[in-house]
Structures are given as C-alpha cells and as structure tokens.
Amino acid sequence: MLRTRAFLLAPVALAGFPVEAWCEPQADLGPSIVVQSASPWREVDWRAVRNQQLTWEPVESSPLPESTPPPEEATAPTTRKRRAKPQPLDDVFALNEYIGPTIGVPDTTPIYPLNEALWDAIPALKDADIRVYGWVNPSVGFSSSRESNFPLSYNVQSNSVMFNQGVIRVERPVDTVQTDHWDVGFRATMMYGSDYRFTTAKGMFSNQLLNNNQLYGFDPVELYAQVYIPEVADGMVLTLGRYISPADIEAQTSPSNLLFTHSLMFTVDPYTFTGVKADIKLDDNWSMMFQVHGGNDVVVPDKASRLNGGAMVRWVSDDNNDSIWAGVNAINGSNYNVGSDQLNHFVGTWSHKFNDDVNMMTEVYYEYFRNGLTGGRVNYGPPISAYRLTGPGTPIPGEAGALGIVSYTNFKVSDQSYFTFRADYLNDPVGMRTGFGTAFGSLTLGYTHRFSPLITIRPEIRYEKAFRAGVTPYDNGRRADQTSFSMDAILRF
C-alpha cells in the first residue's frame, strides 16, 4: 500500500501542493504516513516510478508510530492479472504451475540485466515486448564410476567439472490474458554445452553428435512461432516449429527442472518435436492439446521424419489441489527408420498440492518402437571416455517397449529454498532405449537455494542400480550400480 501511495503522491509534491492534505488516514486501508516536509523529494527516479517504486530523500521526517511497520516491510504484494485459476504452487519451486497448457496465465519472466540494458539502448525492443536473456549452467560431480555416468543425465562425464548449458533466448511471449485481439509471438533458444548430447534432433546440426560424438556442441533447442486466437473456445495457442516435448515433468532447459540431474525415464524419452501444436483452453478446469509432428528428435526436412500425431487432456480440480495431464504424446505406424527411433509415447502425470509448502508430481509412461535396434538412435562417432557406447545396436524384430515411472515430492524450506526427493523406475527389458536389457531404479535427494533472482545452486546425492543379474550399464558397461554427488549453478543474465 505504501508503494502505491508514494507513486500517487509524487506528482502532487512535485507540483508544489501540500502533501499533508493528501495523506488523511482511511479506515479500510490501515495507517497512513504523514510526510511533514514541504518538499519531501529531492530527486525522483522515474525508472523506479515505472515499476511502482519511488526513491526519495526526506529533508525532515517525524518518527513513525510504534504500531506502524517500517516502509520496506509495509509494501503490499504485487497483484498479477490472471485469467485462470490461482497459481497452485509457491514461487520458490522451479515449477509453480501444473503441467499442460497455461492459457490465461500471464508471463512472469523477470526482466534480467541483459534484457534491461537492451531495452534502454533500443526502446523499439521494449515497445514490441521482445525479450533477450539467458543463463550459464556449470556443474561439478563425483561418482563411483570412473569414466561415464550414463544412463544418468545430463552430466555424463564422471568426476569432473562440466559446462552443461550456455543459453541465449530471444522471445516475444503471446499475451493470453487479454481476449480482445489475436497476438503473435516467437521463441529462439540457442544452447551450447555438454547437454546438447540429449537434445540434438537428427537433421539439425546433428553431425556434431551422430557422426563425431563431440563432448560439447550447439543446439537450437527451441525455434518456433506462436499465434494466440482468443475466439477459439476460451483461447487457443498455435505453435509452429521446433518445440520441447510437452508431456513431461522435466524439461531440457536447466531452470525448468526441480533437480540438477534427470530421471532415468526422462533420459530416454522424446525430447523435442518439429511440427504444429494447438493448446486449447475450454474453461478453468479443462484444457486440450493436439499436435502433428515428424517424430521424436528429428526435424521434419530430414528423411528419417515420419508423420506422427498426439492428443492430451489437462484437468484441474475445483479446489486447485489436483491436476492430471495425460494422453498420447506421439503415435505413428512407422518402423525404426534411417537411425531414427520413431517412438510411440503414451504418458500421464498426476500433480497434488498437500499444502502451500509440500507438493508432489508422479508421471508414468509406456513407449515402444517397431523393428528397431538396441540403444535406439545410432551414434556413429568415435568412442570418448564420457560415452564409449557408439555404433549400431542389435536388431530387435517386431515391437519393443519400455515402462517408466517417476515421482517428485517437494518441500519448501524458505522463500529461497526447497528440498526435492525423487524416486525413479525404468524397465527396459530388451534394451530398446538404453542398450541394456534390464530394469533400473534410482533415488535422488536434492536441495535448491536461490541466493538472488540471478544465482541458484542445486546440490544433490543419488544412488541408482540395474536390477538384472550380470547386466552392467554404468561406467561404459563396467558397473551394475552407481553413487554420485553433484552440484550445479544457474547464473542468469
């Protein structure tokens, strides 16, 4: 409330009118502060005024009554416009919305330093709401494996410091809160680092991995345009281009994840699609998604792409404590083709909010392909210590599948930190995804702490194991289990 009053009083004081007349207490607004100086502002920071924050230097001031909190503690929280149910999860968590379409939810991405500098230098970017920002994501890890952590992802190299991601993102988010007009936007997410190994799509800079097996590489992990059409149902967003697979709890970009490392099941499921996706809001409880794409992790111009379809439904309970996001993420009638998996992927996620401090998310999927190879997509590059399992796998006639289950439970500790416990199971009986015919399990305990909006760290400890006797998938085929400690940092700019 003080922030709003200061904003309103600024022009009054600057115009020379007595401020006292505008500071009468109001019964329904709590105590007011009476400024006794005739000229309470010497200098006004108009950039702060734009953000509803006023900087002033009082010439004289009287002590505040004991019952009045100091000004910095008396600022009411900013109310965000929203055309959807209230935000279900606390802002401290990396995921504060339920998974699935979020039409009617405002974009709350902060204006980071690079973006602010560019807006100051090129006002036309601000006028068009074009945003430019990014992050770097280094990590350090220690493991019982000597060379390779795979199938742990993304930090595949054991006992080393790694540069996982360096990202520049340019975007214009569509405004789905308003219902007056169509809106057009786009996103380009350019990534360099060791994580490219998992996000690479065949046919788009893929020789770095599939022919050369480089430890580090570049990948434009998102390249799409969007159109928001408010007249369709309660709003529809069309996405055209390369986009992240919409089905999972986990995602390819570091800030979008609750932990540093990923579940085993996420390691081997679809990462990106190239095609057209339609998100449609029916009402505050129900949304739908339809998509047509060229298959998992292959760009449409590539000869390995094949026609795929998908449809999913999102439901949110009336009390906003539960959500289900389920359906078909990819389905096709194709065989394994030119080194491409062409996965069929059926998936569902249940999210539950116990209270403001504790929530859980559980995802289950079944995926399969036809007439493929053990290990899936072929890496023809030379072996390196972080990944020696190159070359084509053994043919698998007919249909082969894998079942994955993962559950996250998150506990808020403070406004800057939370704990996450993850249990993960992957059954890959003939090795169609990992190259090893076994079931796997992993347990991970992690802690996330934000020192500021620009700096986050995520230490974690993890144990994982292959359950079939005699099968040794870890450390380039040497070990049946693995214990690891790792920590990453997300440094935004």
Q: What is the pLDDT of residues 404-462, one digit of tens each?
A: 999 999 999 999 999 999 999 999 999 999 999 999 999 999 999 999 999 999 999 99
The answer, yes or no, to whether residue 11 has pLDDT greater than 50, is no
For residue 415, CA distances in Å to 91, 354, 411 come to 8, 18, 11
Angstrom distance (rounded) from CA 360 to CA 89? 10
Q: Where in the chain is the domain with CATH 2.40.160.10?
A: 113-492
C-beta of residue 166 within 8 angstroms of C-beta of residue 136: yes
For the stretch 265-311, pLDDT in tens is 999 999 999 999 999 999 999 999 999 999 999 999 899 999 999 99
Q: Quickly state the pLDDT bin for 339 (edges 50, 70, 90).
A: confident
- Alpha carbon of residue 246 to chain centroid: 11
Q: Given this model, what pLDDT does residue 215 score?
A: 97
For the stretch 90-103, pLDDT in tens is 999 999 999 999 99
Lowest-pLDDT range, 8-17, 146-155, 476-485? Answer: 8-17
Percentage of the chain lying above the pLDDT 70 cut: 84
**Residue whose tokens read 């493991």:** 143
Q: Given this model, what pLDDT does residue 337 score?
A: 80
* Token pair belonging to 493: 């700019």
For residue 270, CA distances in Å to 60, 247, 366, 436, 441 come to 64, 9, 12, 19, 20
For the stretch 145-192, pLDDT in tens is 999 999 999 999 999 999 999 999 999 999 999 999 999 999 999 999
**Residue whose tokens read 């990396």:** 94
C-beta of residue 349 within 8 angstroms of C-beta of residue 326: yes
Lowest-pLDDT range, 69-78, 252-261, 358-367, 474-483? Answer: 69-78
* Token pair belonging to 143: 């493991």
Q: Given this model, what pLDDT does residue 70 score?
A: 41
Architecture of the domain made up of 113-492: Beta Barrel (2.40)
The answer, yes or no, to whether residue 12 has pLDDT greater than 50, is no
